[in-house]
Amino acid sequence: EYKTLGFIGLGAMGKPMLVHLADKLPPESRIYVFDVVEAVVDEMCSKYPHRVLKASSAKEVAQQVETVITMVPEGSHVRSVYLDPQTGVCSTDISNKLLIDCSTIDTATSLAVKDHISQNFPTASFYDSPVSGGVVGAIKGTIAIFLGCAESDPNMERLRHLMGLMGKEVIACGGPSLGLAAKLSNNYLSGIIAIACSEAFDMGMRSGLDPRVLANVYAAGTAQNTICDRFCPVPNVYPDAPSTGGYKQGFKVQLMRKDFSLAVDMARRVESKNVLGQVGLDTYDGASKDPRCRDLDSRVVYRYLGGDED
Ligand code: NAD
């Protein structure tokens, strides 16, 4: 069905997502790609000759294809990829095209891009579609995808099929920008749990408890949750947790800081009480700047908060 596809933003997430598309789409399909870093575009084009093709701008990608996926860092990048008057996706005729933004950005920017598109190209469709599961999930093809549309959306079948090539679960979150609202609420929750979990382990261990005993207690008790076991902030409790590998793999603390701050902004905008927001923001802000934590998995907050001190 997807004879031509575009992919813009081949970074830590975008590249492995593109690999799944290139491996799984029918051989006759063509994927046009663009990134401001030319080397990564060249790398993917030589990995998949005749299937992955180089474009020189977001506009050129949009000219060549019927569906465009974007995966760039922040709202400012999404704006420029779509709205730049010379090189953006919307600087060419995108009538009838499907546009899917997987970046984690603020809901207001996403809605502004969607509005611009529906005013100028009423037959084009834009969706927010942020993902969860990290780089490892992107490589394994197990990311969860949160679509900003209703299950009854006329494009749902196409979207489910395409996004399902890159991830395990595709959830329709109800309407425009609600994929992002879901993703930001999720990361807020998991960020707060990691802080609470770090503090709970620390007080227990300082009281003389073995962390593996504590992990069993949490798993058996009412505190049971995935951060306390699979992503345990304390090293050597769960063998595959990022902490056990020196926090090297996983979800970088700076990205948690970014998502957390977007979530707190969203909470303020919708007048949600959000008493833990400032504490979380200060904690992830501090950890992102701390040389012992920077560039490591976000569960390194355990170290930032005084655990893991040897
Ligand atoms: P990244 O910085 O590794 O990659 C972003 C890519 O976008 C880079 O290759 C960059 O050159 C490119 N880019 C930037 N501006 C561009 C432009 N104007 N035109 C074309 N290309 C441009 O970031 P990432 O880790 O892949 O994250 C991408 C998005 O996914 C972010 O919003 C992030 O919050 C979200 N996300 C990341 C993770 C993760 O674990 N890394 C997990 C879930 C979601």
Other CB atoms closer than 10 Å to residue 97's CB: what's the count? 20
ipTM of the predicted structure?
Answer: 0.99
| CA 244 / ligand 1 centre spacing (Å) | 26
Find the residues whose C-beta lies inside 6 A of ligand 1: 8-14, 34-37, 40, 58, 71-73, 77, 80-81, 103-104, 131-132, 134-135, 251, 255
Q: What pLDDT was estimated at residue 310?
A: 57
Q: Are 258 and 244 members of one domain?
A: yes
Q: Are 171 and 215 members of one domain?
A: no
CATH number at residue 231: 1.10.1040.10
Q: What pLDDT was estimated at residue 41?
A: 98
Average pLDDT over residues 260-278: 96
Q: pLDDT over 70 for what percent of the chain?
A: 99
Going by alpha carbons, the residue nearest to atom 12 of ligand 1 is 9
Q: Are 189 and 211 members of one domain?
A: yes
Average pLDDT over residues 109-114: 98
| CA 194 / ligand 1 centre spacing (Å) | 23
Residue 309 domain flag: no
CB 122 within 8 A of CB 90: no
Q: What pLDDT was estimated at residue 1?
A: 57
User: Ligand 1, from 18, 72, 296: best to mutate by most atoms within 8 Å of Cβ?
Assistant: 72
Going by alpha carbons, the residue nearest to atom 38 of ligand 1 is 134
CB 297 within 8 A of CB 251: yes
The mean of the pLDDT values for the chain is 96
Closest ligand 1 atom, CA of 105?
32
Domain stops at, among 175, 196, 226 = 175
pTM exceeds 0.80, yes or no: yes
What b/e sequence results for 103-132 when a residue is b if at least 16 CB atoms lie within 10 Å of its CB, and e otherwise?
Answer: bbbbbebbbbbbebbeeebeebbbbbbbbb
Give catalytic residues, as residue numbers: 183
Coil, strand, or helix at residue 295?
Answer: coil
Q: What does the alpha-carbon distance between residue 175 and residue 264 come to, in Å, rounded to a whole number?
A: 21
Domain stops at, among 126, 146, 175 = 175
The one-character DSSP state at 86 is: T
Q: Are 165 and 206 members of one domain?
A: no
Q: How many domains does the chain have?
A: 2
The crossing angle, in degrees rounded to 10, of helices 277-289 and 253-269 is: 150
Average pLDDT over residues 49-63: 97
Q: Are 32 and 164 members of one domain?
A: yes
